[in-house]
A and B are shown apart, each in its own frame.
Chain A
Amino acid sequence: MQVFSKSANYWSRGSIIAGLFVVASLVWMVLTLQRSDFVTSANQFIEQPVQFSHQHHVGGIGIDCRYCHTSVEVAASAGIPPTKTCINCHSQIWSTSPYLEPVRASFREDKPLQWIRVHDLPDFVYFNHSIHVKQGVGCETCHGRVDRMPLMFQKSSLQMEWCLDCHRDPTRYLRPRDQITTMGYQPAVAQAVLGPQLAQEYNIAGVEHLTSCSVCHR
């Protein structure tokens, strides 16, 4: 008695190929999904209490990053500006715009605006803006072309491999200190020449230190 029909041979051989294909697809899916924007929440606009446009303020008007993010050179946090910083200008311009009513309300009632954090690192990572700025890492390097963002979004994955990409060889990303806040920065000489030069000038620690666990995890 035949247990299987003649076509069973094709099915059994086909199932080997199909099985390999399924396994390969699953591996590919896991690898891709884990790095996707869906998991890292990169490249997603986040609705804020006021739809503040960096594109307008940085790209259009040309305000320096440090006008609002005042502590970026001296503290761990770059700092979120108080409502007063907004009112410096907006008591004069667009002072009656209904669009800006939440800002005026915040100023009147002395209640801070509840901005929603866009770049949220895990709590076990100790990130310090000041050291990065001091050692020649530009704002753009991590935050992308902020001057082209109508609403703020996270440009990078913020995954550890992304941090280590720079910590293992920072020379590829260094720029002169006076170019820190420049958007669309182009190195004057080749980065391959400039990077190592700056690393030496700024006395940047070696890769053993930069990649030791306790530099970021304390």
Chain B
Amino acid sequence: MANNVHAQATSTAVLDVPVIAPGHDFETVTESVAQIPLARRTPLGWVFGFLIGLSLLMLLQVSLGYLVLKGIGIWGTNIPVGWAFPIVNFVWWIGIGHAGTLISAILMLFRQQWRMSISRFAEAMTIFAVACAAIFPVFHTGRPWLAAYWLFPYPNTMALWPQFRSPLIWDVFAVSTYATVSIVFWYVGLVPDLATMRDRAASLFKKRIFGMLSLGWRGSARHWHRYEVASLILAGLSTPLVLSVHTVVSFDFAVSVMPGWHATIFPPYFVAGAIYSGFAMVLTLAIPIRAAYNLEGLITMRHIDNMAKVMLATGLMVGYGYTMEAFFGWYSGSFYERAMMWNRMFGPYAWSYWMLISINIGLVQLLWLRRVRENTKLLFVMALVINLGMWLERFVIVVTTLARDFIPSSWGMYTPTRWDFATYFGTIGLFLTLFFLFIRFLPMIAMFEVRTLLPQAKVKAEHGH
């Protein structure tokens, strides 16, 4: 990290807003982050937010408990729409996770130093989003204990393997690899900061907990060397995952022969959509957090602006995807592809298509305006709406295709039940609960990385040492 601070010093000077607000030094950076988990008093706002998350989490427990008792008939999922909310929500959550990996892996390899302030909680977001996503395919089977066995058939007393030619099993490997690498990457990045927490904690109990978690980190040159090597390797491992995981998720659709799914544009278009929705979620989290914890000096307008720009870029790619889908529908010359596109635009679910288009092609254009990118309140609302837009995208893809396939006699409408919504909002509760616990108990910004951005860290070689 330290060897590229020179390049960084010149590049920030070009831009009008610095990555870290002026006036910060080593101590203030550490103090403003470390005091949050170490504070004895829990802020009332945190308790309020946590309780909202916890009550939604209880809703998840109730709805999954009832699901296991009654079977998936409590959901609206039924033939012909056998993949309904569960898959929509699964893809939505997995997509959201992608921003965290992009920020911590790809932006690290590209030496984008603005990522340092947001990488920690974006990575946490990734892990929690993957946890939420995993719930859906497993419970969609109705018997999660059997689903676990089918996915990892050990002990293999059936002497049978899962169908390796099915994209669903590719999904299992893609997502479990993604979860594992993300957790390890996140934890490795936490170790130096956990040691800082150990050193700053007042009570012996906290010192011991953080001490155990920091794995004996003393900050020696050898430790830092190993840390740099490990995080570079992990970034290298994570980088292909940013592209591969959602590619494999898109194969769930693209490998089938359904009109509207069987398209070569799906992998890149899904990856762009994932990053788009992921940055919307990072903004959704970053804007209230920096205000609530007075972190505007560390998560500056520069970060907000950059994230909004990434969102605009990926939003335009997604918009290109929608345009090409419509074009392919016509250009394919296939009667069924054309019928599918017509049905999407003017069929019974046309409302979802036009809502999607107006958000992901229409609303997102506001991000061209600097005034919009500088207005955090408006950006927060836009990020929420874009999250909804990306959810609608998956709804349109899954439901419109399945509800009307080749034979009109097998058409059928899908209506979600209250349990569908309860499970969906329940996973949002799980996400919020985990996230609130994270910001209360762990340093949510990588203090040691942000410190390297300070002017004091830029030691000139000619001055000795």
Interface residues of A (CB under 8 A from B): 1, 3-4, 9, 12, 30-31, 34-35, 157, 159-161, 164-165
User: Judging by beta carbons under 8 Å apart, are A3 and B204 in contact?
Assistant: yes
Across-interface contacts of A3 in B (CB, < 8 A)? 198, 204, 207-208, 211
User: Binding site of B, secondary structure by majority: helix, strand, loop or mixed?
Assistant: loop
* Partner-contacting stretch, out of B83-91, B153-161, B342-350: B153-161
How far is it, in angstroms, between the C-alpha of A8 and the C-alpha of B215 when the chains are bound?
Answer: 11
A to B CB contacts below 8 Å, 24 in the list: A1-B207, A3-B198, A3-B204, A3-B211, A4-B211, A9-B216, A12-B212, A12-B215, A12-B216, A30-B155, A31-B154, A34-B155, A35-B155, A157-B157, A159-B157, A160-B157, A160-B158, A161-B156, A161-B157, A161-B158, A161-B159, A164-B158, A164-B159, A165-B159
Q: Which 7 A-B pairs have the closest CB atoms?
A: A161-B159, A34-B155, A160-B158, A159-B157, A3-B211, A164-B159, A3-B207
How far is it, in angstroms, between the C-alpha of A164 and the C-alpha of B159 when the chains are bound?
Answer: 7
Interface size on B, residues (CB 8 A): 15
User: Judging by beta carbons under 8 Å apart, are B157 and A4 in contact?
Assistant: no
Shortest Cβ gap from A9 to chain B (Å) = 8
Shortest Cβ gap from B148 to chain A (Å) = 12
5 further interface pairs, Cβ-Cβ under 8 Å (given A35-B157, A165-B159): A3-B204, A3-B207, A12-B216, A30-B154, A160-B157
Which among A12, A31, A159 is the interface contact of B158 at CB below 8 angstroms?
A159
- Name B216's closest neighbour in chain A (CB-CB): A12
User: Judging by beta carbons under 8 Å apart, are A160 and B154 in contact?
Assistant: no
How far is it, in angstroms, between the C-alpha of A34 and the C-alpha of B155 when the chains are bound?
Answer: 7
- Name B214's closest neighbour in chain A (CB-CB): A3
Across-interface contacts of A164 in B (CB, < 8 A)? 158-160
Across-interface contacts of A31 in B (CB, < 8 A)? 154-155
- Name B204's closest neighbour in chain A (CB-CB): A3
How far is it, in angstroms, between the C-alpha of A180 and the C-alpha of B208 when the chains are bound?
Answer: 71
How far is it, in angstroms, between the C-alpha of A30 and the C-alpha of B156 when the chains are bound?
Answer: 11
- Name A31's closest neighbour in chain B (CB-CB): B155
Across-interface contacts of B207 in A (CB, < 8 A)? 1, 3
User: Judging by beta carbons under 8 Å apart, are B155 and A160 in contact?
Assistant: no
- Name B158's closest neighbour in chain A (CB-CB): A160
How far is it, in angstroms, between the C-alpha of A59 and the C-alpha of B164 when the chains are bound?
Answer: 49
How far is it, in angstroms, between the C-alpha of A159 and the C-alpha of B212 when the chains are bound?
Answer: 45
Across-interface contacts of B158 in A (CB, < 8 A)? 159-161, 164
Shortest Cβ gap from B188 to chain A (Å) = 16
Shortest Cβ gap from B222 to chain A (Å) = 16
How far is it, in angstroms, between the C-alpha of A161 and the C-alpha of B212 when the chains are bound?
Answer: 44
- Name A33's closest neighbour in chain B (CB-CB): B155
Which among B159, B211, B212 is the interface contact of A160 at CB below 8 angstroms?
B159
User: Judging by beta carbons under 8 Å apart, are B155 and A4 in contact?
Assistant: no
How far is it, in angstroms, between the C-alpha of A113 and the C-alpha of B216 when the chains are bound?
Answer: 71
How far is it, in angstroms, between the C-alpha of A38 and the C-alpha of B216 when the chains are bound?
Answer: 45
Across-interface contacts of A161 in B (CB, < 8 A)? 156-159
How far is it, in angstroms, between the C-alpha of A1 and the C-alpha of B198 when the chains are bound?
Answer: 11
Enumerate B152-191 residues with CB–CB distance to A below 8 Å. 154-160
Shortest Cβ gap from A49 to chain B (Å) = 32
Across-interface contacts of B157 in A (CB, < 8 A)? 34-35, 157, 159-161
How far is it, in angstroms, between the C-alpha of A164 and the C-alpha of B157 when the chains are bound?
Answer: 10
Shortest Cβ gap from A47 to chain B (Å) = 27
Shortest Cβ gap from B166 to chain A (Å) = 15
How far is it, in angstroms, between the C-alpha of A63 and the C-alpha of B309 when the chains are bound?
Answer: 87
Which among A1, A9, A160 is the interface contact of B160 at CB below 8 angstroms?
A160
How far is it, in angstroms, between the C-alpha of A160 and the C-alpha of B159 when the chains are bound?
Answer: 7
- Name B215's closest neighbour in chain A (CB-CB): A12
How far is it, in angstroms, between the C-alpha of A59 and the C-alpha of B158 when the chains are bound?
Answer: 34
User: Judging by beta carbons under 8 Å apart, are B208 and A4 in contact?
Assistant: yes
- Name B206's closest neighbour in chain A (CB-CB): A3
How far is it, in angstroms, between the C-alpha of A192 and the C-alpha of B111 when the chains are bound?
Answer: 65
How far is it, in angstroms, between the C-alpha of A165 and the C-alpha of B156 when the chains are bound?
Answer: 13
Shortest Cβ gap from B151 to chain A (Å) = 15
How far is it, in angstroms, between the C-alpha of A73 and the C-alpha of B53 when the chains are bound?
Answer: 65
Per-position contact with A for B212-226: 1 when CB-CB < 8 Å, else 0? Answer: 100110000000000
How far is it, in angstroms, between the C-alpha of A34 and the C-alpha of B198 when the chains are bound?
Answer: 44
How far is it, in angstroms, between the C-alpha of A165 and the C-alpha of B208 when the chains are bound?
Answer: 54
Across-interface contacts of A4 in B (CB, < 8 A)? 208, 211
Shortest Cβ gap from B203 to chain A (Å) = 11
How far is it, in angstroms, between the C-alpha of A157 and the C-alpha of B158 when the chains are bound?
Answer: 11
Shortest Cβ gap from A7 to chain B (Å) = 13
Across-interface contacts of B208 in A (CB, < 8 A)? 3-4
How far is it, in angstroms, between the C-alpha of A200 and the C-alpha of B440 when the chains are bound?
Answer: 72
How far is it, in angstroms, between the C-alpha of A157 and the C-alpha of B211 when the chains are bound?
Answer: 50
- Name A213's closest neighbour in chain B (CB-CB): B160
Across-interface contacts of B204 in A (CB, < 8 A)? 3
- Name B160's closest neighbour in chain A (CB-CB): A160
How far is it, in angstroms, between the C-alpha of A151 and the C-alpha of B323 when the chains are bound?
Answer: 74
How far is it, in angstroms, between the C-alpha of A36 and the C-alpha of B198 when the chains are bound?
Answer: 48
Shortest Cβ gap from A156 to chain B (Å) = 12
Across-interface contacts of A12 in B (CB, < 8 A)? 212, 215-216
- Name B198's closest neighbour in chain A (CB-CB): A3
Shortest Cβ gap from B22 to chain A (Å) = 35
Across-interface contacts of B212 in A (CB, < 8 A)? 12
Across-interface contacts of B155 in A (CB, < 8 A)? 30-31, 34-35
Across-interface contacts of A160 in B (CB, < 8 A)? 157-160
Across-interface contacts of B159 in A (CB, < 8 A)? 160-161, 164-165
Across-interface contacts of B211 in A (CB, < 8 A)? 3-4
How far is it, in angstroms, between the C-alpha of A157 and the C-alpha of B204 when the chains are bound?
Answer: 55
How far is it, in angstroms, between the C-alpha of A159 and the C-alpha of B207 when the chains are bound?
Answer: 52
How far is it, in angstroms, between the C-alpha of A96 and the C-alpha of B154 when the chains are bound?
Answer: 54
Across-interface contacts of B156 in A (CB, < 8 A)? 161
Shortest Cβ gap from A40 to chain B (Å) = 9
How far is it, in angstroms, between the C-alpha of A4 and the C-alpha of B155 when the chains are bound?
Answer: 41
How far is it, in angstroms, between the C-alpha of A108 and the C-alpha of B212 when the chains are bound?
Answer: 78
How far is it, in angstroms, between the C-alpha of A185 and the C-alpha of B207 when the chains are bound?
Answer: 72
How far is it, in angstroms, between the C-alpha of A9 and the C-alpha of B212 when the chains are bound?
Answer: 11
How far is it, in angstroms, between the C-alpha of A4 and the C-alpha of B211 when the chains are bound?
Answer: 8
Across-interface contacts of A1 in B (CB, < 8 A)? 207
Shortest Cβ gap from A169 to chain B (Å) = 12
How far is it, in angstroms, between the C-alpha of A12 and the C-alpha of B216 when the chains are bound?
Answer: 9
